[in-house]
Structure 1
Amino acid sequence: MTCKLSLATLSDVARTAAIPGYDRASLKAGIVHFGVGNFHRAHQAIYLDDLFNAGTDHDWAIVGAGVLPSDAAMREKLAAQDFLTTVVEQDNNKTAARVTAPMIDILPVGDAAAIIARLADPEIRIVSMTITEGGYFIDASGTFNPAHPAIAADGENPNAPKTVFGLIVAGLKARKDKGIGPFTVMSCDNIPHNGIVTANAVVGTAALSDPAFADWIRANVAFPNGMVDRITPATSQREIDFLRDNFQIEDSWPVYCEEFKQWVLEDKFTAGRPALEKVGVTFVADVTPYEHMKIRILNGGHAAIAYPAALMDIHFVHDSMEDPLIRAFLAKLEKDEIIPIVPPVPNTSLTDYFALIEHRLLNPKIADTIPRLAQDGSNRQPKFILPSTLDNLGQGRDVVGLALVSALWCRYFAGKTDSGKDIVFNDASAERLHAAALKAKDDPSAFLVFDDIFGEVAKSELFRKRFAHALKTLWEKGTRETLQLYLDGKLAV
């Protein structure tokens, strides 16, 4: 017999899943988090749930917030189950479910007055966010774009903001006007130097309406950099049905994830923080080495396998890694062109780290999908692939493999797989990328015109040469044969 997830049914849920060992009513808000999607609920919320289960820091509960229509749908579904989430952790040899309860509310989505009022509450000492790589209004070089229409609109109407950064600025302003100290602003997104990127976005937004206040933010608000890691697929009806059939729990939006998780964070906080080191968070003075390792090797690896797998009609990530060509392609790319330009990481073997990633990507229970990895490439390529390309070029190294990754992305955006099936794009820049990819079949340079994506990389004659040849080969011989040529050392000309 199944039961619908709620605070009232936790005793029944406990028959098949772990439940919180703390009284949810004892929690007090300490964090407002923008973007309460799957990754947040499988990562930051899990660490806090672990901490609360340890009997400490119950004044650091989460209040959710959001500005997108998808946030409204999430709020509706989670509110109906008392903001509880079932998290299903899946390793190769086990599957376990737990119910987490560190979130006590989600603010009305898009209600600027309600969100600003909560941000101004002195109980709130951290404002965090998981808003995806595309939510920071930055170009290929990581520079914040204050001219973006959404940001410009907040600059013109600072008292009625609609973006996350406009709301944060308004919340900080309200606190300052009331004589309340500022909160810490903490990014939990996969972006190099995410704290610096977030600081630039908040300060840049504030400067549009009040330059002096922007200077005050820069001087008084902490923006710690952090590295976050846990493979967390999207939730579909498949996952909802699995939870009901195997754990007898009805959860409108459960989260599935791998067992592995990691969080490395700079210990820079304006108004205190929960004792997350007690539950596995690594606090460091400088997160940069860990960021480089994870973003280049794991996220770069994701981006590298996404497009050949898509072109070869492979749907699941573990199936792509079981294909000998794709697995060998990733291994050679990492060994030859990614790992060699990743700076050393304290007490870490980069080759061992990549071996761990291979194991994680081969996990069939996660059922992570290639469409998820392939989405939003216009934001992910400049952050996960092209920095490695640029660093190799800067060191006088060849980029045969990395140029092939870019060519595979271009070939993908032509819109059909090698077998002729239509590709469904999920990218804010899909229209311009698709048009350019079609032109690039005859003129490869047509895909390299986007300065906001390729930046300095496109100016390299070596890269342009490698890209053009790889793209030509993909069109003439197909993905499988092109990968084999790369593996055989015969792709370069």
Structure 2
Amino acid sequence: METHLKNSVLAKRLDSAQISKLPPAVQRPSYDRDAVSPGIVHIGLGAFCRAHLAVYTDDVLENGAKDWGIVGVDTMSPAIRNALKPQDCFYTLLARDDGEDKLRVIGSMLDVMITSDQRREIFDLLIDPKIRIVTLTVTEKGYCQDAATGSLDEKHLAIIADLANPTTPNSIPGFLTEAIRLRRQAGQPAFTVLVCDNLAQNGTKVRDIVARFATLRDAELGRFILDNVSFPCTMVDRITPATQDADRAIVAADLGVEDAWPVVTEPFRQWVIEDRFPLGRPDWEKVGAIMVDDVHPFEMMKLRCLNGAHSMLAYLSVVAGIEAISDAMADADLPKIIRLLWDEDLIPSLPVVPGTNVEAYTRELETRFQNKGVRHLTLQISSDGSQKLPPRLLEAARELYAAGTEPKVIPLTIAAWMRFLSGRNERGQDYKIADPYAERLATLAANAGDDPELLADSLFAVRDIFGEDLPANQHFRTAVIGHLSSLMAQGTAKTLKTFLAGNKGPASTNTNIR
């Protein structure tokens, strides 16, 4: 990033002084930003939150709200602070739709802080009564959960370290617990914790994880969290690939000034939120969010149909050497496979989603996946499979078996993930496996060599991922090993053609199983 800025011919950087000078086609804040005070602290400053939560909140500020600005907190590195602070925390949203670009400068992020050297300042801010909501996008692995059970992984090294030094925490459970303790000690009512990550029943799950950590630290504090802190569940949806230098160049050319870290996204966005905010909230429903009593049906639809399909496309594509989701959707067979996944496995596993035609939702997903303007890299999507596959696909498989039917495409996806763990695609190119269990999984794959049955059995033995039931299910085990054998011996293209030849005919007419 620093090299990109240094080599640029543009002398000026996006900041408050440049906002009024931007080209007329660029949307920018019309509200008085100096009059806005923070009401939200957001933890985890990846691209997604800046393309989603911050945009909805920017819309609320445009409608006249003045007390719902966002202070961003990052727990990973100072890179995002170094990029945004010189820009007065303004950044550009680049919405791309097959060649049509729309630029918007977002102003809802008022400040950026980093836990590595500002932990005490952050805790002081979290004690302030004007902060009423803490939002999070830290990915599934950020909550230190056991992937198979969804509960706190009490053997996680970060959890062990934080329990030994609870006032200087580094994990998300430890950080939230200490913030809640300090706020309670200061006599302030508890803030609402709003989780915006792709976890089933994300609010409930994170509440239980945080309360368990707190209980291990202080049983009374654990009870306080369960009784007094609201953790609404949410469903978030907007495809947001990692920003590339080419994106920065496009933004700089259109703005006439540098933006060190713009965000690239699709036009579509959706946010469904359980309406449980004891200290109040922004009027997000006035700018497109859906406030509900129960988010579960919506999150299941998105988690399985979008995220589950993304996982399937990612593993098959990385192994085949396909770089982006839009490229995968141009393949002769992958779109047919994803349609089967939806029709045969995922739609039948869903509860009724109020006011929603789920098949129409998946048809819209096809169009979104085909968007060449959003180059969503399959290797990026492939990360953290040990954490993502259980809620996205393995739970659906369990429910289908429990209902007396069998998943058809999920075993192929699991086989593709197992093949993916070799770290080399069919073109002989190596790639890095990004996963909390990466070293363990790569070692199992290497030790299994070219033996698909040994590889499958070694991975099935990782109970943190598969539990006890699925490895003991003979149909599931046989199906996975059969697909894995084909992928290893014949490659992806032939495996898909063989699979499709055995699954001809109209899509299943199964109704939802719940």
Normalised-by-shorter TM-score class: over 0.9
Deviation per CA, 1:75-129, whole angstroms, max 9, x where unpaired? 1111011111100111236210000011111224323322211111111100111
Provide the rounded CA distance (Å) in 1 between the counterparts of 2:60 and 2:288. Answer: 10
TM-fit CA distance, 1:54 = 1.4
TM-fit CA distance, 1:367 = 1.0
Name 1:473's counterpart in structure 2. Answer: 486
Name 2:328's counterpart in structure 1. Answer: 320
Provide the rounded CA distance (Å) in 2 between the counterparts of 1:109 and 1:17. Answer: 33
Q: Would you say 1:462 and 2:492 are equivalent positions?
A: no
Name 1:338's counterpart in structure 2. Answer: 346
After the TM superposition, which of the residue ranges 192-201 and 424-433 deviates more from structure 2?
A: 424-433
Q: Would you say 1:11 and 2:20 are equivalent positions?
A: yes
Q: Would you say 1:97 and 2:103 are equivalent positions?
A: yes
- Check conservation: 1:115, 1:167, Cα contact below 8 A: no
- Check conservation: 1:112, 1:162, Cα contact below 8 A: no
Provide the rounded CA distance (Å) in 1 between the counterparts of 2:30 and 2:366. Answer: 34
The count of residues paired between Structure 1 and Structure 2 equals 488
Name 2:274's counterpart in structure 1. Answer: 266
1:77-92 aligned at under 5 Å gives the runs 77-92=83-98
Q: Which amino acid in the other structure matches residue 389 of structure 1?
A: A
Name 1:445's counterpart in structure 2. Answer: 457
* Percent identity over paired residues: 36
CA separation of 1:464 and 1:441: change in aligned 2, threshold 3 A: farther
Q: Would you say 1:136 and 2:148 are equivalent positions?
A: no
Q: Would you say 1:45 and 2:23 are equivalent positions?
A: no
Deviation per CA, 1:270-304, whole angstroms, max 9, x where unpaired? 21111111101100000000011000100000001
Deviation per CA, 1:301-336, whole angstroms, max 9, x where unpaired? 000111111121111110100112111111112111
Q: Which amino acid in the other structure matches residue 169 of structure 2?
A: P
Deviation per CA, 1:5-47, whole angstroms, max 9, x where unpaired? 0001111224341110111101101011101210000000000
TM-fit CA distance, 1:441 = 3.5
1:97-246 aligned at under 5 Å gives the runs 97-110=103-116, 111-139=118-146, 140-246=148-254
TM-fit CA distance, 1:222 = 0.3
Provide the rounded CA distance (Å) in 2 between the counterparts of 1:479 and 1:141. Answer: 32
- Check conservation: 2:142, 2:171, Cα contact below 8 A: no
- Check conservation: 1:399, 1:466, Cα contact below 8 A: no
For the residue of structure 1 that corresponds to 2:329, the secondary structure is helix
- Check conservation: 2:143, 2:171, Cα contact below 8 A: no
Provide the rounded CA distance (Å) in 1 between the counterparts of 2:33 and 2:388. Answer: 37
Provide the rounded CA distance (Å) in 1 between the counterparts of 2:40 and 2:470. Answer: 39
Provide the rounded CA distance (Å) in 1 between the counterparts of 2:423 and 2:461. Answer: 19
CA separation of 1:440 and 1:207: change in aligned 2, threshold 3 A: farther
For the residue of structure 2 that corresponds to 1:181, the secondary structure is coil
Name 1:307's counterpart in structure 2. Answer: 315
Provide the rounded CA distance (Å) in 1 between the counterparts of 2:309 and 2:257. Answer: 35
TM-fit CA distance, 1:428 = 2.5
For the residue of structure 2 that corresponds to 1:227, the secondary structure is strand
Name 2:384's counterpart in structure 1. Answer: 376
Deviation per CA, 1:147-180, whole angstroms, max 9, x where unpaired? 3221122222222222222222222212212211
After the TM superposition, which of the residue ranges 32-41 and 172-181 deviates more from structure 2?
A: 172-181
Provide the rounded CA distance (Å) in 2 between the counterparts of 1:237 and 1:133. Answer: 27
CA separation of 1:294 and 1:440: change in aligned 2, threshold 3 A: farther
Provide the rounded CA distance (Å) in 1 between the counterparts of 2:473 and 2:152. Answer: 24
After the TM superposition, which of the residue ranges 345-354 and 426-435 deviates more from structure 2?
A: 426-435
- Check conservation: 1:154, 1:205, Cα contact below 8 A: no
Deviation per CA, 1:344-390, whole angstroms, max 9, x where unpaired? 10011111000000000000001111111111212111221211122
Uncovered stretches (5+) of structure 2, i.e. residues with no partner: 1-8, 505-514
Q: Which amino acid in the other structure matches residue 108 of structure 2?
A: P
- Check conservation: 1:440, 1:447, Cα contact below 8 A: no
For the residue of structure 2 that corresponds to 1:324, the secondary structure is coil
Provide the rounded CA distance (Å) in 2 between the counterparts of 1:475 and 1:196. Answer: 40
Provide the rounded CA distance (Å) in 1 between the counterparts of 2:203 and 2:450. Answer: 39
Deviation per CA, 1:182-225, whole angstroms, max 9, x where unpaired? 10011011111110111012211211221101101110110000
TM-fit CA distance, 1:490 = 6.8
Provide the rounded CA distance (Å) in 1 between the counterparts of 2:45 and 2:308. Answer: 24
What is the TM-score of this pair, normalised by structure 1? 0.96
Provide the rounded CA distance (Å) in 2 between the counterparts of 1:416 and 1:170. Answer: 43
TM-fit CA distance, 1:488 = 1.0
Q: Which amino acid in the other structure matches residue 92 of structure 2?
A: T
Provide the rounded CA distance (Å) in 1 between the counterparts of 2:205 and 2:14. Answer: 38
- Check conservation: 2:390, 2:466, Cα contact below 8 A: yes
- Check conservation: 2:94, 2:265, Cα contact below 8 A: yes
Provide the rounded CA distance (Å) in 2 between the counterparts of 1:132 and 1:302. Answer: 15
Provide the rounded CA distance (Å) in 2 between the counterparts of 1:397 and 1:417. Answer: 33
Q: Which amino acid in the other structure matches residue 449 of structure 1?
A: A
Equivalent of residue 23 in structure 1, options 32, 48, 55: 32
- Check conservation: 1:227, 1:287, Cα contact below 8 A: yes
Name 1:275's counterpart in structure 2. Answer: 283
Name 1:392's counterpart in structure 2. Answer: 400
Provide the rounded CA distance (Å) in 1 between the counterparts of 2:369 and 2:257. Answer: 27
- Check conservation: 1:377, 1:427, Cα contact below 8 A: yes
Provide the rounded CA distance (Å) in 2 between the counterparts of 1:316 and 1:158. Answer: 42
Provide the rounded CA distance (Å) in 2 between the counterparts of 1:379 and 1:22. Answer: 41
What is the TM-score of this pair, normalised by structure 2? 0.92
- Check conservation: 1:265, 1:283, Cα contact below 8 A: yes
